[in-house]
Structure 1
Amino acid sequence: MALRESKNGIGVEVQTTRQHEPALGLLLQILEVRAFWEHCATFLMRPVWRMSASGDGHPVLVLPGLAAGDASTTLMRRFLKSRGFAPIGWGQGLNLGLREGVLERAHDRLRELHREHRRKVSIIGWSLGGLYARELAKQSPEMVRLLISLGSPFTGDPRETNAWRLYEYASGHRIDSHDFHGRLRAPPPVPTTSIWSETDGIVAWRCSFETRRDMAENIVVASSHLGLGAHPAALFAVADRLAQPEGHWEPFHRNGWRRLVYGDPHKTRLRRGGHPSGTRDRRGASMNCALRAE
């Protein structure tokens, strides 16, 4: 799927390949039941939350995934608040896709936080919310301090996801329609972290792989998709990234005990045969970045 200019603004032009990766298998879908235990584990670990990095009080805008609202990010925001950050939800109810006005209202929220705190805002987007976060950072990089996405499908094929039908039902338009806004392929011009799991049962990890460039990185955790925004390892990494001083960015390190918790993203890609955007599939057709449902 590629983006093109139209009379009505920026649209999406679908460029299909003869063969693409199949949707994720049944076993990974079943393993999504882990999400309940991942939420419980983080809640039960509240006494040791203080072991994670502490913040400087700067605002953090948290955007939910498809068919979810601010309730889904409550645990994450509670954790961040306990660590000295100032998290806030997106305030738009359920995320039902890129409907009219969604990005505009999210941008208004970003602008309000920037004006109220007189500081740059960090943005966290879970799944589809991560696509919004990337677009906000591209629209107003002067307001954004750091961008973190969690299992967000900013590259790949639309129908590799196990949620594209849900996206069509929730949003009211086809996944290959021309209603989407924003240049998904263009990287955000701010420090960017993509957190994903090899065993994500909703979004294939290949579609969350951030290409190598300055101030961009991948962090790999062993989590379900539905529990990614509440997984203890993911939240520890989020706090670590947010705690960096404004204007000073260093990549996440995996030294010591972290090697037991966080995977090596580049070894994962080599071992599992991931295709970075712009490479070729088995038949030589171009692999284009695509908006995926979740």
Structure 2
Amino acid sequence: MTTRHSHAGTPNPLHSLIEPRALLEIAALPAGLPLLASAERGDGHPVLLLPGFLGDEGSLLALKYFLRNRGYDVQTWGLGRNLGFQTRHANALQQKIRFMHFKSGRKVSLVGWSLGGMFALYGAKAAPECVRNIITLGSPVSMGPEGSQSPPLVKAIYRLIAHPLGTHGHLAQPKARDLREQKRMPIPMSCLYSLSDGVVPPQEATIDGDPALHENIRVPGSHLGLAFNAVVLNIVADRLAQPEGDWHPYEPTGLTGRLYRLLTHKSLPL
């Protein structure tokens, strides 16, 4: 059964404090090249990458070039820096997905990092006939009545840059409110989350859903390093390589599977 993680409250303060360890994860990426070289190759279908809050296309370079190397037609959203869940970006994203689908004649896979995952959900809801699957990386895809449980500093930055009422202001918008009611779309969805994420707590980065279509996959690492994490990139490639119409939950196997279990201390995703 695919269920939200049982964590409650905000991320561990220590994990939030050491989020800069993402710099070490980025520096360690070249050491993961042997792992990435063995990653599943794709079938060439289009993939759209969506950055996290305050991120732009540059933040997705490692993911972009890796997936292109695996054979995908990869694009980034082309809307500049992600400054919050804004209606103009949401509407433009819908049109981008429809155009990619029309141009290629194939459904589009959406990969969203952090807040980019919320945009991915909106894009899939707005153009479901154009979307093949959804992958989120540490994204706040679930939220209880208490609202966001991100650390106070993250909320303060969001209020300063995105909306004076913070995440509550954007979550009250009809588009965002509809998203919270539409998480169980009949589209395959993989939510990658980390127990040591210092920005988005596990219960918000995971979903309740249909185990035949939805899954939560635990990964190691920080929030800010997710798109540069060799284990994460390998899993993303595995999920994108699932045949259209024949999706199966993630099953770590072989050397990659042993490494995955070693780093997460779990034999199966939660």
Same fold (TM over 0.5): yes
Identify the residue that residue 190 of structure 2 maps to in structure 1: 193
Aligned length: 247
Distance in 1 between residues matched to 2:8 and 2:247, nearest whole Å:
34
Q: Could you tell me whether the CA contact under 8 Å between 1:22 and 1:160 is conserved in 2?
A: yes
Matching of residue 170 in structure 1 with residue 161 in structure 2: yes
Change (3 A) 1:36 1:52: same
> Could you report, residue by residue, the CA deviation over 1:54-98 in whole angstroms, capped at 9, with x for unpaired residues?
011111000000011111111111110111111111111110012
Residue number among 247, 250, 254 corresponding to 1:249 in the alignment: 247
Distance in 2 between residues matched to 1:53 and 1:197, nearest whole Å:
22
Q: Give, as a single letter, the amino acid of the residue that structure 2 aligns with 1:95.
A: N
Q: Could you tell me whether the CA contact under 8 Å between 2:54 and 2:83 is conserved in 1?
A: yes
User: Equivalent residues in 2 for 1:1-294 (5 A)?
Assistant: 21-46=8-33, 48-156=35-143, 157-162=146-151, 163-174=154-165, 175-177=167-169, 178-179=172-173, 181-182=175-176, 183-185=178-180, 186-187=182-183, 188-213=185-210, 214-255=212-253, 257=258, 258-262=260-264, 263=266, 264-266=268-270
Distance in 2 between residues matched to 1:265 and 1:137, nearest whole Å:
24
Q: Give, as a single letter, the amino acid of the residue that structure 2 aligns with 1:176.
A: H
Per-residue deviation, 1:164? 2.0
Identify the residue that residue 3 of structure 2 maps to in structure 1: none
User: Secondary structure at the residue paired with 2:215?
Assistant: strand
Per-residue deviation, 1:41? 2.0
User: Secondary structure at the residue paired with 1:181?
Assistant: helix
Distance in 1 between residues matched to 2:44 and 2:148, nearest whole Å:
40
Change (3 A) 1:198 1:184: same
TM-score, normalised by the number of residues in structure 2: 0.85
Change (3 A) 1:45 1:222: closer
Please identify, of 136-145 and 150-159, the stretch whose mean Cα deviation from structure 2 is larger: 150-159
Distance in 1 between residues matched to 2:157 and 2:207, nearest whole Å:
25
User: Secondary structure at the residue paired with 1:81?
Assistant: helix
Gaps of 5+ in 1: 1-19, 267-294
> Could you report, residue by residue, the CA deviation over 1:131-151 in whole angstroms, capped at 9, with x for unpaired residues?
110111112111001100000
TM-score, normalised by the number of residues in structure 1: 0.79
Q: Could you tell me whether the CA contact under 8 Å between 1:122 and 1:147 is conserved in 2?
A: yes
User: Secondary structure at the residue paired with 2:134?
Assistant: strand
Gaps of 5+ in 2: 1-6
Q: Could you tell me whether the CA contact under 8 Å between 2:135 and 2:190 is conserved in 1?
A: yes
Please identify, of 254-263 and 108-117, the stretch whose mean Cα deviation from structure 2 is larger: 254-263
Distance in 1 between residues matched to 2:108 and 2:44, nearest whole Å:
10
Instruction: Please give the root-mean-square deviation of Cα atoms over the aligned residues, in Å.
Output: 1.9
Distance in 1 between residues matched to 2:239 and 2:126, nearest whole Å:
22
Greater Rg by CA: 1
Distance in 2 between residues matched to 1:64 and 1:136, nearest whole Å:
14
Per-residue deviation, 1:100? 3.3
User: Secondary structure at the residue paired with 1:60?
Assistant: strand
Per-residue deviation, 1:47? 5.0
The structure whose residues are more often helix, as a share, is 2
